[in-house]
Amino acid sequence: MSTTKLPALPEPLAAEVFDSHCHLDIMVGNRQASSGDPVAQAAQAAQASIEGILREARSVGVTRLVTIGYDLPSSRWNAETAGLHADVYAGVAIHPNEAHASTPETLAEIEELARLPHVRAVGETGLDYYRDWASRDDQHASFRAHIEIAKRTGRALVIHDREAHDDVLRVLADQGAPDVVVFHSFSGDAEMAGRCAEAGYFMSFSGPVTYKNAGYLREAAAVVPKELMLVETDAPYLPPTPHRGKPNAPYLIPLTLRCLAEVKGMEPAGLAEAISANGETVFGAW
């Protein structure tokens, strides 16, 4: 990946860590960015390659990543890509914004993909009340179907929760949560974090935890046990400070992790080691 149009490399970490959630297919242009998606457009203009993304991530201590599907084509692509790279795992699912596409046939293929050895998560699925691209009825039905796929396949459930905290927790309790649940790009407050921790759910923090106006996220991170914490980019979206508005990439994980370490009163290396151990609990051994 060229860094001429992207943020500079941060100081490397003293201990290895991984990116628990990114979208390689968008970063490398497998899904062409629309005119309304300037961040993805900028990422694709940099003409990234998977090898380049992995190389730059490794150079700062980010040695592995999980690339996440959001519809059937992206799930297929990410599953195939993970099969070709030992440092990459995949998640497969229909995003809640695409829940109208969760047909029986589509969900059957998602389950088939989820059973592949290099696919370690069902997600991202969940509820999104910020956008109305799919009806709430369709979102709830799709979310429940993905919960059952995660349970049948023994995969981690990766949740997209946007302005739907109470309903996401309610559905998990009602449907019966899988053994491993991850709240991707955790967006709740300290009270929500406490509820998730009590249920044993993992919480993954992304770039917004570094933003000046996101004190509530730092308060949430402060109460999350380190045994339930993950870190992610959601690349090419949600870059950490000081790179808001620019494309994100796995090599920027150190900026978010250092913020989390400060919040937790830990050395970054110690938190990186804890998060790496959590990654093996969530996604299995690499």
19: left (phi over 0), alpha (psi -120 to 50) or beta: beta
Sequence length of the chain is 286
- Provide the phi-psi class of 4: left if phi over 0, else alpha when psi is between -120 and 50, else beta: alpha
What crossing angle do the helices spanning 104-114 and 136-153 adopt, rounded to 10°? 30
Is 146 labelled as part of a ligand binding site? no
d(CA 280, CA 285): 5
Q: Is 234 marked as a binding-site residue?
A: yes
Torsion over CA: 167, 188, 161, 84 (sign) = negative
Q: Does 160 appear as a known binding residue? A: yes
CA distance 42 to 78: 21
Q: Is 124 annotated as belonging to a binding site?
A: yes
Q: DSSP letter at 276?
A: H
Q: Are 167 and 132 in contact (CB under 8 A)?
A: no
Count the helix, strand and coil residues of the chain and give each as a percent rounded to the nearest 5. Answer: 50, 15, 35
Which residue has tokens 């961040």?
39
Question: Alpha-carbon distance 52 to 15, whole Å?
Answer: 21
- 111 a known binding residue? no
CA distance 113 to 130: 29
Helix, strand or coil, per DSSP, at residue 164: coil
Q: Is 21 annotated as a binding residue?
A: yes
Annotated binding site for a divalent metal cation: 21, 23, 124, 160, 184, 234
Annotated binding site: 21, 23, 124, 160, 184, 234
